[in-house]
Amino acid sequence: MPVDMNALNEDKLHEFVGKLLGDLGGAFSVPLVRIGEKLGLYDALFEAGTASVAELAQTTGTNERYIHEWACAQAASGYLDYDAAAETFTMTPEQAMVFGIADSPVALSGAFEAAAAAIAGGDKVGDAFKTGEGVGWGDQATCLFCATAKFFRPGYTNHIVQEWLPALDGVVEKLQSGAKVADVGCGHGISTVIMAEAFPNSSFVGFDFHPDSIHHARQNAEEAGINNVSFETALAKEVPAGNYDFVALFDCLHDMGDPEGALKHLRSTMASDGSLMIVEPMAGDAVSDNLNPVGRLYYSASTVICVPTSLAQEVGLALGAQAGEKRLSEVINGAGFSSTKRATETPFNMILEARP
């Protein structure tokens, strides 16, 4: 249909083009943030506080001409501050929370890694749009699972022990006294190791269907020096019976091909008085509830990662990363759990608790 130029609103057009320019600037920032992470440029500037291009290049052993262009791009993006009179670049406390402090609750460099992986896998997913087939987790381009672990680590570090577990009924007390725990879909085992370190009297087993992720999980546990955790390669439907007091699923239920079948099986592995915690991306129940910056990020990631991953498995329910509490509760209750409630939430996650 041809555009009616007489109906064109110039102000809205310029506003829309301006929005796209911001988006394109962000897209082109993805490789630059990754370079800054890889070469330690953010770390060096965080240490120095303020530095010239020459000083930053010397500190990091990099080429001054490249650093000039990189730092200017970062300043234009608002990722660094620039002092024109002194010709120096500064990382403000707010910028440091995102790029300079690895364990900050808003450290987001991992999101840029995930964005790069999503871009690299775009062609495979685009082909799947035509066939309706999935793209397996391990078949995505680049190290998607490495990027995912890096992206989720800050949230897990700052919320699991401090907020999420205490929001559950009686779970912390069980973990303190000694409980059997299964972390299903554990990926690189970040969540499993965090819990195992916090509750040395309990025993933890992490399960994931991706062998390379389990390899990384074992390495992470070894580096942490803990001995109350182990990891096994297994589908959620294949987790062996363990009379588990607590089962956790972090950001993985919506990626499963048959989430209801998986939960039904996991219910059979739990103690009669056990607890299930499901951490999922924050989402409202209606599409209109999710048309915001967080929903934008999750819908986009879901299109190229979560939905293709689910469609590559049996059943292929493809809940997506914005399923919402109502739909998730239907799946949980359909698996036979007697009660489900939202225990707590963050801007990025909802934490659901269910009982057998």
Residue of 290, 344, 354 whose CA lies nearest to 321: 290
Which residues partner with 82 through β-bridges? 89
Q: Do residues 42 and 24 touch, judged by C-beta distance below 8 A?
A: no
CA end-to-end distance (rounded Å), the chain = 55
**CA–CA distance, 12 with 76 (Å, rounded to integer):** 24
Average pLDDT over residues 313-332: 96
pLDDT band at 8 (very low <50, low <70, confident <90, very high): confident
Res 217: pLDDT: 97
pLDDT digits (tens, 9 = 90+) for 153-184: 999 999 999 999 999 999 999 999 999 999 99
- pLDDT > 70 in the chain, percent: 99
Average pLDDT over residues 114-127: 93
**CA–CA distance, 139 with 124 (Å, rounded to integer):** 9
pLDDT band at 69 (very low <50, low <70, confident <90, very high): very high
With a cut of 90, say whether residue 140 has pLDDT above it.
no
Higher per-residue pLDDT: 57 or 147: 57
Q: What are phi and psi of 38, to 5 degrees?
A: -60, -40
Neighbouring C-alpha atoms within 13 Å toward the C-beta of 120: 15
Q: What is the mean pLDDT of the chain?
A: 95
Res 13: pLDDT: 93
With a cut of 80, say whether residue 4 has pLDDT above it.
no
109-355 falls under which CATH superfamily?
A: Vaccinia Virus protein VP39 (3.40.50.150)
pLDDT band at 3 (very low <50, low <70, confident <90, very high): low
**CA–CA distance, 49 with 59 (Å, rounded to integer):** 13
pLDDT digits (tens, 9 = 90+) for 70-89: 999 999 999 999 999 999 99
- pLDDT > 90 in the chain, percent: 93
Domain pair 20-99 / 109-355, same fold: no
pLDDT digits (tens, 9 = 90+) for 255-297: 999 999 999 999 999 999 999 999 999 999 999 999 999 999 9
Res 132: pLDDT: 95
pLDDT digits (tens, 9 = 90+) for 17-46: 999 999 999 999 999 999 999 999 999 999
Which residues partner with 180 through β-bridges? 203
Residue of 206, 202, 161 whose CA lies nearest to 180: 202
Res 141: pLDDT: 76
Average pLDDT over residues 100-122: 92
Domain boundaries, the chain: 20-99, 109-355
DSSP codes joined into one string, 196-213? HHH-TTSEEEEEES-HHH
With a cut of 70, say whether residue 1 has pLDDT above it.
no
Q: Residue holding tokens 């955790």?
A: 229
Kindly report the CATH class assigned to 20-99.
Answer: mainly alpha
